[in-house]
Structures are given as structure tokens and as C-alpha cells.
Structure 1
Amino acid sequence: MPSRLADAYDVIVVGAGPAGSVAARLAAEQGLNTLMIEKRQEIGAPVRCAEAVGAEVTKSYIEEDERWINAHIDFYDITNTKGDYVRVPPTEHTWVVDRKVFDLELAHKARRSGAQVLTSTAAVGLIKEDTRVIGVRIRAFGEIKDVKAKLVIAADGTESQVARWAGLKTVPPMSDYYSGVQYLAGNLQGKIEPNVCEYHIGMDIAPGGYVWVFPKGEDTANVGLVMTADKSADTSPREYLDRFVDAHFPDSSIMSVVVGGIPATGALKRMVTDGLMAIGDAAHQADPLTAGGINLGMFGADMAIQVGAKAIREGDLSAKRLQEYERLWQERFGKQHAALLQVRKMLTSMNQETLIGLIETASQLPIGEMTPGQVMMTLLKSHPRLLIEARTLITTGLILK
């Protein structure tokens, strides 16, 4: 396999998830000699998320194909520990996808655009001149080769080694790091609605986090749980998830299990250094409230290549030049994600009784006919103690929208 590697490329993308594949395709379409490597034997496996994506955003990067769409989502239910729930429509039509097929098709699009794609091929280090990244040390089938690149893209996920090797600060506080576990559960006929995604919240269910049930058909769903790492010392996420599954789906079959961690801080403040850009989960480009990141990673890849391709043509791969990417990200998502982070902190600090009461009250409102501001004012009247937490929403501007 190392014999198939050239000595140098314009762009090397490390990681073949959605963000990496979009970056590789866009770079190749810019006429850049592009290599994308994936350390695992198979692209798209193991599945590392709940697999929900916004349809309109996704269609900007890949053509709609029922081969990788498992469910069309019309509503989200937010449920408390008593069983009260609020049903809201998504901000855009949502799909639950089959990541194995979805990720592979994105990689095929990169390949068809001219990128070279290699699996079972791992980055084991960076090549540097002083502090500037000038390539990647690559291992494939026991052999190691140093391969130079004008630009390296770190797209190697939440545990990104490449970003750390480059000196980017990627370790969040424990209170801003989700520990998670997910089951692919079967035999759920009649227990789920195939067009409804569910969130279950409550300190008894998932301290500092939530449980999700995302359908993948009539009788199958991703059932998962995240909780902040600082609350998982005594009871593990898997123990909490087992309790939930035993209570709600006692006759289910567990078809697969995946565990992992997700930073929930919003994007890294520094996503670039000389010769390198981080994208997707490697750059913590996930929603600070829900930790969803597939579409955000695609946006990050797009922004990175917009800037990176120009920088290559200009011959300036300095961190100062690449920081335009960080500015684009902040302009698009900075204020929104700062607000969502504050909302998450507000919810995780709220006592159980208040949280139960809020959802119980909201479940009786005609949510679809009300603005967020009207909903909040109604909740404030019913729960005056919420005024303390409402300062967060007022500060972020969410209550006024």
C-alpha cells in the first residue's frame, strides 16, 4: 500500500467521515492533488452518532438517495421523567441515515472528483519544519512513509490526534464533555413512531445529558444516552441506558453497541496552525446543546477548503492566512453556539422538579401556534422561579426571537 502513495500532495485529509470526505471532494474539485486516508478498514464503521441530519443542508453536499435514508422525521418529542412531552417540528426536514452507506457514498464522491482514498492507512505523526506542518507520517500494513503536503486537514474525529500533534488545545473541561453509549435496538414494533425522534431528559435518566430514540424504520431505532463526564463517576452511561431500555423497551434486541465521547463546547477557538486546519469533530464543530455534528462538520469542511485552496494558490499557508476560516466560522455560528452553550448549562443546573414542571406546562400549550418568546412568557407566568434562569435567555437574545 505505501507504494501507492506519492511523495507529496497539495492536500492530505486525515479521516474519512462526512467532514473529511466533503473536504477531500471540494479540494479535488479545486484542482488540488488530494489524498484522504482512513485508519479503519471500512469507511462508515463503526457508527459513532445518532445519525440524524438536516435534509436541506445535506442535499447541498450529496444527492438525496433512499439507499441511505432510514427515516423521514416530522417531529421531535421532548419528554420528562413523568412521561409528559412537548412535540415540536424540526427547524428543517430531518433524515435518520445509515452512516455506513452514507459515509461510503460521500467518500465515493470524493474519489470520483479526483481525490485518492486509502483505508487501513493511519497517520502516526506530523512532519514539521520548525512549527509549520509540512506533511504526514503514514503507516499502512506495517510500513511507514513520510508524505509531504502543502496543507493537512485534521478530520480524525473527537479524539483527534492530528490536531493535538499540531499543538491545538482539544481537551475540554469534564463538565463540557459528553460520555455516551448507543444501542441499535430492534423488536420495537408499536413502541416507536417511525417519523418522530424522541429526547428524554431528567437527572434520574441522564445526569447532565439526555436519552435519544431515533427511529431507523418501523421496529428499529438508535437508542442512546449522553451525560457529562463529571457526573459519570458513580454510575456509568451504559448502566443508565440499560435502566432506560429495560423500562421502555424490555423485549428489545440489541443489535449493536457503540461507546464514545463528544466535546460539547462549540468549536475550538484555534482551529488552525501553520500548514494545518481542523474540521468536524476534530475541531469540536458540534452543537453545544445536542452535540449533533454531521452537518456542522460539512459546513466546516466547506469553509476550510474555501480558505485553504486560496492559500495554496497564494503560497501562504501560515496560521495568520488560514485564520480566515476561523473568522468565517465565528460569523456563521459563533453567537448562536455561545447561546446554545448557555442554554445547556442552564438546563443541566436546573433542579429536577423545575425541569419536570416546565415540560408538563409546555406539553399543554399549542406550541405550533406560538413564537418562542410567547412560549417563554407563558412558562415564566407558571414558573416564576424560572426568572433567574431566564436572564441567560434574555442575554443571548433567544427569548426575543
Structure 2
Amino acid sequence: MTQPESTGYDYDVVISGASLAGSAAAILLARRGVRVALLERRSDPDAYKVLCTHSITANAHPVLDELGLVPAIEKAGAVRNKARWYTRWGWIEPKAAPGGPELPYAYNIRRSTLDPMIRSHAGRTPGVDLLLGHQVTGLVRETGRTVGVRASTPQGEREIRARLVVGADGKDSAVAKYAGVPGREYENGRFGYFAHFRDLPLHGGLGHTWFLDPDMAYAFPNEDGVTVIAVLPGKKWLPAFRDDLEGSFLAFVRALPEAPPIDSAERVTKITGTVNYQLNSRSPKAPGVALIGDAALTGDPLWGVGCGWALESAQWLAEAVAPALTGRSDRGDRRNPGHPGNLDASLAAYARRHRRRLRGHQYLAADFARARPFNPLERLMFSAAARDEAVARHMHLFGSRLISPLRFLNPVAVAKASAVNLKHRRAAASAAPARLSRAEP
């Protein structure tokens, strides 16, 4: 057990939730000299999140590298998440430019492998106390700010005081609820079901995503020869799935273009999912409180961004608040490094970064979650990406959340896509008379 200093606090930070976001934040904060209590409501150290895309987008690779997890992830057999996307204009197949660098990647890895790995890593990190079986039941508040948590533990109720409480406890965050953090919900016009299959070959060994406009599906290969298949239809299909979940799921997959041969593969899990997965956006901070991962922002699962954003937000928080928590902050009251104003200024900086990096992505995702057909701009970019390798690479950067929506749709990119489609239409028009001439007797 970490010995607290005589500051009136048991720890500098208490984190509720020891999955990806919470464990990553604990590691990164502790390495910066912060004393951390990492609480996990489940007592099993091997517990893991079930409802997940099991994919980490390339934007989070630098965080995995900083955490030191890349060697362990690769040793576990994680699959680098290269992919191809089906559209009605053809397949988008991002490839590295000739003579250019490899496309950015991260990993497809099941949470049953990843969660215990990162939680164990956190528990071994000096400065982190991993407290399993600790469920937050309330917050401790003084003079208008949060100064700790109340938790139910195997030994009974306990109060843990800290200068900062971090909610890493998912989209239904208890910390956010107890702190009264404002938020916004977006309805999702799709529902989702998924299952895991072993020995399921995919074209090129790549992950596949099907944009069926507006229905969706994906197949992501993971470690140990297991592939995750998810279907995300519009809710008009929900009555059929409720009447016959297995039959509807399998029929949906069989009907996909270049469908994975699921009938010859071994299904190793039951079909699970959700029919009402709302997108949540909350303020990432309150006095004495920070939210990371799904607690701050819950994305649409069809994009597979949740794991990446959980890791990134953990890194952003650690970078922002560690100086204030260790007395090295240049914000707020410089004469008193422990003054709450330093921490509040750091939390404000974290919140600005969080909004700047993710708000645009969430806005587009919430709009697309209405299960509408492609709009004109989406038709332009997707069709051009299916016809041109440079546009496909540009789309890969956006799908990997390495560029912002504004950069994805910048005037140069839109002009390039327009030129690609114009060239395609001219080629098609020129080929039409030739085909007609060959068809004449």
C-alpha cells in the first residue's frame, strides 16, 4: 500500500474503473510522480469488457508505445488492423504509397486478452494501488468540489480522499452521475449484434467493413485465430432479429458481398449485442473531477473508436494534471503549487484538448448514427476512395482518427476526389460507345 503524505488526502488521484482508460491513466500518472488509487468494482483481475469492437485505432499506437505494451500485445498475437471497406462503388483498399512508409496501424485484440494485460501492468506500476472489488457509491464533497469517493469494498464501506477523482467507469458513469456532470445523448438508429468465429478466412487476411448504406457490418481478425463479426442494421430490421436472433444474424452475414464463410467456421461465443446504444457526450471535467474514455464520450460502436479514445484521453489527462498534482504546475497560483486553482486550470486545459480533438468526430458520428443514407459529400469521398489509392490513404487516416474532420474534408481533398470521379465518368462515357460497337453484329 502506498503511504500517503500528510496532506489530508489518502492519494493524489482516485480512479474509478480499471479497464483501458483507467489503467492507462493510472500508469501514466504514477510515472509522473502522482500517487494513484485504481478502483475496480469487479473482484476478478481477469474481468474484461464484453461489448466492444475489440479493435484499437491507429491514433492510440503512441499511447500503447508510451505504456510499454506494444511488445506484450504483439507477443499475444494481436493482429495489425489493416482493413478494406466495401461500398456500392467497389472496395476501398488503403495501401502504402509506392516507396512510401507503411500505413499507420494499431491492433485488433480481444478485451479478454487486453484488459487483464493492462490492469496487471497498472498493478505492478510503482505509485499505483490496484483495489479490486471496490465500487464507488458516492462522492466526498467539500466547499463545492469533490475531494474523494465513498466505496463499497469486501471489507465494508470506505472513504478514500484524493485531490482528483477520475471517472473511467464507462458510458453509464457513476462518477459523472454523482458529480452532476452535464451531458448530451444522441439516439442511435442502428442496433448491433456480434459473435466470435475461429478459423474464418478473410480476403487477404484483412479486416472487412461493409458500408451497405445505411446498414453496416464488419469482420475483424483477432489473436488466436478468432474473428469478431458484427452486424449493425437500421432499426427497421429489429423485429426480425427479435423473432429469430441467430437466423437473422447468420442470414445478414451470408448476404454480405464477399461474405465470410461462417458456415465452415467454428462459432466460439454466443451472439450478443445491444438494441439501444446511445452516443453520450459529457463535459470532461468538474471541480475535482475528470472523465475519460466512455465516461466522457461514448462513440458509435460501428467506427471502432472507443478503445483508441479511451487510451488517448487517459494520456491527455495525465499530461495536463500531473504537474499540478506534483507541485510542478505553472498554472494558477504559482506561490502555492498545491492550490486547487492550479488543478482547475489543468483540468480546463484537458477539457479544451478533449473537445478540440474529439468533438468534430463525435458530431459526424452522431449524424451518421441516424441510419441515414450517405449524404452528397460522403458519396463523393467514398466513391473516389474506391477509385483512387491516394484518396483511399486519405480516408484511412481519417478512419484511424489521425486527422480531423476538417482536414479530411479540406478543399484540396474535396477537389482531388471531384477530379477522380470526373475522370472516372469520362472514362466510362468513352468506353460506352466501344462496348456498343462490339455488341453490334
Q: Indicate whether the TM-score tops 0.5.
A: yes
Which residue in 2 is equivalent to 1:367?
389
More divergent stretch after superposition (56-65 vs 130-139): 56-65
Distance 2:34 2:376 in 1: 56
| Contact 1:164 1:170 (C-alpha < 8 Å) held by counterparts | no
Which residue in 2 is equivalent to 1:71?
79
Distance 2:323 2:218 in 1: 41
SS of 1:181's partner is strand
Counterpart of 2:16 in structure 1: which amino acid? V
Q: Does 1:216 align with 2:210?
A: no
The alpha-carbon deviation at position 26 of structure 1 amounts to 1.7
Q: Does 1:184 align with 2:196?
A: yes
Q: What is the CA deviation profile of residues 250-308 of structure 1, one whole-angstrom value per residue up to 9, with x for unaligned ones?
A: 3433322443565546x53x111111100011111647971412222222112212222
| Contact 2:171 2:295 (C-alpha < 8 Å) held by counterparts | yes
Which residue in 2 is equivalent to 1:24?
26
Q: Does 1:330 align with 2:355?
A: yes
Distance 1:332 1:62 in 2: 24
Distance 1:380 1:144 in 2: 68
The alpha-carbon deviation at position 222 of structure 1 amounts to 0.7
Which residue in 2 is equivalent to 1:173?
186
Q: What is the CA deviation profile of residues 357-399 of structure 1, one whole-angstrom value per residue up to 9, with x for unaligned ones?
A: 9867754x2324776542344347879xxxxxxxxxxxxxxxx
Cα gap change, 1:185/1:382 in structure 2, threshold over 3 Å: closer, same or farther? Answer: same
| Contact 2:213 2:373 (C-alpha < 8 Å) held by counterparts | no
SS of 1:60's partner is helix
More divergent stretch after superposition (246-255 vs 123-132): 246-255
2:36 to 24, 34, 51: 34
Distance 2:186 2:120 in 1: 37
Which residue in 1 is equivalent to 2:141?
128
More helix as a share of residues: 2
| Contact 1:34 1:116 (C-alpha < 8 Å) held by counterparts | yes
Which residue in 2 is equivalent to 1:46?
49
| Contact 1:197 1:214 (C-alpha < 8 Å) held by counterparts | yes
Distance 2:237 2:318 in 1: 38
Distance 2:156 2:265 in 1: 44
Q: Does 1:252 align with 2:265?
A: yes
Distance 1:310 1:79 in 2: 46
The alpha-carbon deviation at position 140 of structure 1 amounts to 2.0
Cα gap change, 1:187/1:133 in structure 2, threshold over 3 Å: closer, same or farther? Answer: same
Q: What is the CA deviation profile of residues 137-175 of structure 1, one whole-angstrom value per residue up to 9, with x for unaligned ones?
A: 111237221221111110011221211221123451214
The alpha-carbon deviation at position 179 of structure 1 amounts to 4.2
Q: Aligned ranges for residues 1-400 of structure 1 at < 5 Å?
A: 8-40=10-42, 41-53=44-56, 54=58, 56-57=61-62, 58-65=64-71, 66-74=74-82, 76-80=83-87, 84-89=90-95, 92-114=104-126, 115-129=128-142, 131-141=144-154, 143-175=156-188, 179-188=191-200, 191-193=201-203, 195-203=205-213, 206=215, 210-216=216-222, 219-226=225-232, 234=239, 236=241, 241-247=249-255, 248=259, 249-257=262-270, 258-260=272-274, 263-264=278-279, 268=282, 270-284=283-297, 286=299, 290-312=303-325, 313=327, 314-317=337-340, 320-321=344-345, 322-335=347-360, 337=361, 340-341=364-365, 344=368, 348-350=371-373, 363=386, 365-368=387-390, 372-373=413-414, 374-379=416-421
What percent of counterpart residues are identical? 21
Which residue in 2 is equivalent to 1:386?
none
SS of 2:45's partner is coil
Cα gap change, 1:85/1:174 in structure 2, threshold over 3 Å: closer, same or farther? Answer: same
| Contact 2:197 2:268 (C-alpha < 8 Å) held by counterparts | yes
Aligned pair count reads 364
Cα gap change, 1:348/1:299 in structure 2, threshold over 3 Å: closer, same or farther? Answer: same
The alpha-carbon deviation at position 340 of structure 1 amounts to 4.0
| Contact 1:120 1:140 (C-alpha < 8 Å) held by counterparts | yes
Cα gap change, 1:166/1:381 in structure 2, threshold over 3 Å: closer, same or farther? Answer: farther
The alpha-carbon deviation at position 219 of structure 1 amounts to 4.8
* Superposition RMSD in Å: 3.8
SS of 2:355's partner is helix
| Contact 1:178 1:264 (C-alpha < 8 Å) held by counterparts | no
TM (normalized to structure 2)?
0.70
Q: Which runs of 5+ in 2 are unaligned?
A: 2-7, 97-102, 328-336, 395-412, 426-441
Counterpart of 1:71 in structure 2: which amino acid? V
Cα gap change, 1:305/1:361 in structure 2, threshold over 3 Å: closer, same or farther? Answer: closer
SS of 2:350's partner is helix
Q: What is the CA deviation profile of residues 48-73 of structure 1, one whole-angstrom value per residue up to 9, with x for unaligned ones?
A: 32222227422232342223342123
Distance 2:68 2:357 in 1: 21
Cα gap change, 1:306/1:72 in structure 2, threshold over 3 Å: closer, same or farther? Answer: closer
SS of 2:217's partner is strand
Cα gap change, 1:304/1:352 in structure 2, threshold over 3 Å: closer, same or farther? Answer: closer
Which of the pair has more CA radius of gyration? 2
Counterpart of 2:284 in structure 1: which amino acid? M
Distance 2:28 2:91 in 1: 42
Cα gap change, 1:103/1:168 in structure 2, threshold over 3 Å: closer, same or farther? Answer: same
Counterpart of 1:349 in structure 2: which amino acid? R
